Amino acid sequence: MNRRKMLAMLGASPALVAGSPIHARTASNDSSALGESLTTVLNPGIANKLVTRYPLAPPLDNLNNKTLYMINLSWEGPDAANYFYGAMTEWLEKHYTGVKTVVKITPEGMFGLDPAILKEMVANKADGAIVGVAG
């Protein structure tokens, strides 16, 4: 049996059988008492309080005569979401009357927020947005 799988099933780390000693820092930080190597372990727990959570916007009753922005974050390249947004636009126009879709590509890609698009959405009174799908 694979030792890694066996240790994982037991909830133990494969580092236990790696053969290298692991030592923790002591309060005195006496390097002579630590042995050959030193491993620092970080606590993955959140030390600070969580960010303020805001409720989601209420859902629209229907999409008739609504303006929807489709924001392409260029996740898999600038053209990745275009097929999806095109198909979604066709479907929306077939099932809802007067729906208007506007496709925008963020210049910063997936790592930024474009204030110009947000201003345009507010100015045009957008009713909703679909953000960040990949192709």
CA pair distance 88, 94, nearest whole angstrom: 10
Where on the phi/psi map is residue 89: left (φ > 0), alpha (ψ -120 to 50), or beta? alpha
Residue 128 has pLDDT above 80, yes or no: yes
pTM of the predicted model as reported, rounded to 2 decimal places = 0.58
What percentage of the chain exceeds 70 in pLDDT?
A: 66
**What are 9-28's pLDDT values in tens digits?**
666 555 555 544 555 555 55
